[in-house]
A and B are shown apart, each in its own frame.
Chain A
Amino acid sequence: MTAPVSEPKGRGAAWTEERGTSDEGRQRPRAARRRASGGTERAGGGTERAGEQHILERRYRRLLALYPAEHRREHADEMIGVLLASASDTGTGHAADMADLVAGAFRIRSRNAARRLRRPGTLRGAVRDRRWGDALAVVSVVAPLLLLVAALAQFNLPQAVASTASGHPYWPLSGPFSVPDWALTIGAPLVVLLAFGRLRRLGGLAALATAIGLLPAQSITSPALAFSVLLAVTAAAGLLLSRGAEHGFALIRWWGAALIGSVAILLGGFSLGGFSLSGYLASTGTYAPAVPGSYTNYAVLPPAEVTGLAGDLVIAGVVVVVALGCLLTPVGRRVLALFAIAMVPYAYIWADKLSTDLIWQRGGITSISTSAVMLYLPPALVACVIVVGTRLSRRRADTIAATG
């Protein structure tokens, strides 16, 4: 600790004059290399040593590939010279030099990455395709709205709206309230407020926090949980990677967002109407709490009601029409691809309700079993296909631009 302070100029400066600075300083590595490269016949075994140096240089160059291209272009030759001079000087430490090269590459790369992250608009800059940027902006409006509907479903609001709209008595507004999931209850409105209040980055982080907060809430094999988690992640991606909800509103208009929100509430109500936390006893016209392990208190829904099988068909019809509509435009197709991620677990929810409406009401018992792999692997694959596909198409475009 004291050495650099207590012996500042004397030895260091004298040595620098002797070897380190400009002309004199050059003599040593050159001499070392001459020694090492077998330039002196009297040393004997020169060719052998040159061969060793060649092998060593090749090894060092291979490790230099770990460095960023720009750094490599500027410093590779210089570093090789230093490494070879150092190796021939000490005659040992090749392995340590190699390990140090790897560590140096890691340090430079991590510093560059940290610098890039600190730059404003970095994440947004990751999406270079304008159509993907627009699609993510649309997602930054729609996904928070859907997340809000999922949160309101805990309070039976979409169910009540759907029941009222269809004239079905299953979920009147005075219906029973379930215990809310606090992460979703607090997270969803917060995400909407931040996203629509032009605080897209905070909104994105809130959406990520909501997704993480949701995980311990229910069983990992719950399709409803997977739907909320993936919706929150999709909302986070939309908010963090796009210009935000303001741009999304400019693309779909405020009335488009209002329409999507209204349809989502209705469909959300229909989705949850067929099986739930308590049963409507058609015979007495009263509600009865569900008894775990028993199906006796569950309602037998009047088959003609829209929240039964007809509700399932309405949901499927609306989803298919919206998907077909999305296919018409390039941005729409990308929006569809992004929502496909969260729609995978929703498909399980819908299929479960359909089987309930088809079989259970006729005296059978059915439940589609799900696993974490079934719920999360297909969405992860969809996300991978999107990322890899966009990267490949960008590379192809770059190649065409370079050659053309």
Chain B
Amino acid sequence: MQEPTFLILTALAAGAQHGYGIMTDVARISDGRVRLRAGTLYAALDRLRSDSLVECDKEEIVDGRLRRYYRITPEGTILLAAEVEHMRANVAAASFRLGLAGGPA
């Protein structure tokens, strides 16, 4: 799983968000390291929706413009959890090899 995908699913894991909310949340989660732009975000959302990992939650009209909220699907949650486990195992292995076991991962 690529990092932007991971971060988008992570952002949605806590609840439904609209596009701009996801963008700012991803920046926050990654400590400003990953800044998604609209083109990247909507290309990723398009893929995640076609893979049934994300779905539309609700729509609103704000200032005359459509605002759509997205939420993670059960399949998305399972995939994200699996990825977290996978990364946790990698982190544990790397920490052990670096002699950091027990320290901050």
Contact = CB atoms under 8 A, between A and B. Distances in A.
Interface of A: 1-9, 11-13, 15-17, 19-22, 25-26, 28-30, 33, 71, 75, 77-83, 85-86, 93, 96-97, 99-105, 107-108, 111, 115
Given A19-B21, A111-B47, A3 B39 contact: no
A21 B67 CA distance: 12
B38 A16 contact: no
Contact of A12 (B19, B29, B65): B29
B105 interface: yes
A75 B89 CA distance: 38
B29 A3 contact: yes
Given A5-B87, A12-B10, A107-B43, A97 B38 contact: yes
B37 A20 contact: no
27 contacts: A6-B105, A12-B28, A12-B29, A13-B14, A16-B15, A16-B21, A20-B11, A20-B15, A20-B25, A21-B14, A22-B15, A25-B17, A25-B18, A29-B18, A75-B42, A75-B68, A78-B19, A78-B68, A81-B67, A82-B20, A85-B20, A86-B37, A96-B37, A97-B37, A99-B39, A100-B37, A101-B37
B29 A86 contact: no
The 5 nearest A-B residue pairs measured at CB: A104-B39, A100-B39, A100-B37, A20-B21, A104-B43
Contact of A3 (B22, B31, B84): B31
A81 B30 contact: no
A79 B56 CA distance: 15
Contact of B91 (A5, A28, A78): A5
Given A5-B87, A7-B29, 10 more contacts: A16-B11, A16-B25, A25-B18, A30-B62, A78-B67, A79-B38, A81-B19, A81-B66, A103-B39, A108-B43
Nearest to B15: A21
Contact of A79 (B15, B24, B42): B42
Interface of B: 3, 6-7, 10-11, 14-25, 28-31, 33, 37-43, 46-47, 50, 60, 62-63, 65-69, 84, 87-88, 91, 104-105
A97 B22 CA distance: 16
Contacts of A80: 65
Given A2-B91, A3-B30, A78-B66, A28 B39 contact: no
Contacts of A2: 91, 105
B30 A15 contact: no
Interface centre among B3, B22, B40, B67 (most CB of A within 10 A): B67
Contacts of A11: 28-29
Contacts of A103: 39-40, 43
A77 B63 CA distance: 11
Nearest to A21: B15
Contacts of A7: 29
Query: Secondary structure of the B side of the interface?
Result: helix
A127 to B, nearest CB: 27
A77 B65 contact: yes
B80 to A, nearest CB: 10
Interface centre among A3, A33, A81 (most CB of B within 10 A): A81
Interface centre among B11, B17, B20, B63 (most CB of A within 10 A): B20
Interface centre among B7, B11, B16, B24 (most CB of A within 10 A): B24
Contacts of A3: 29-31, 33
Interface centre among B10, B14, B69, B87 (most CB of A within 10 A): B14
A12 B91 contact: no
Contact of A21 (B17, B33, B84, B87): B17
A97 B36 CA distance: 10
Interface centre among B10, B42, B46, B60 (most CB of A within 10 A): B42
B42 A4 contact: no
B51 to A, nearest CB: 11
Contacts of A78: 18-19, 65-68
A316 to B, nearest CB: 57
Contacts of A5: 84, 87-88, 91, 105
A19 B18 CA distance: 10
Contacts of B84: 5, 8
A98 to B, nearest CB: 9
B24 A28 contact: yes
A400 to B, nearest CB: 34
B40 A100 contact: yes
A101 B14 contact: no
Given A4-B29, A6-B105, A26-B60, A104 B40 contact: yes
A12 B25 contact: yes
A21 to B, nearest CB: 4
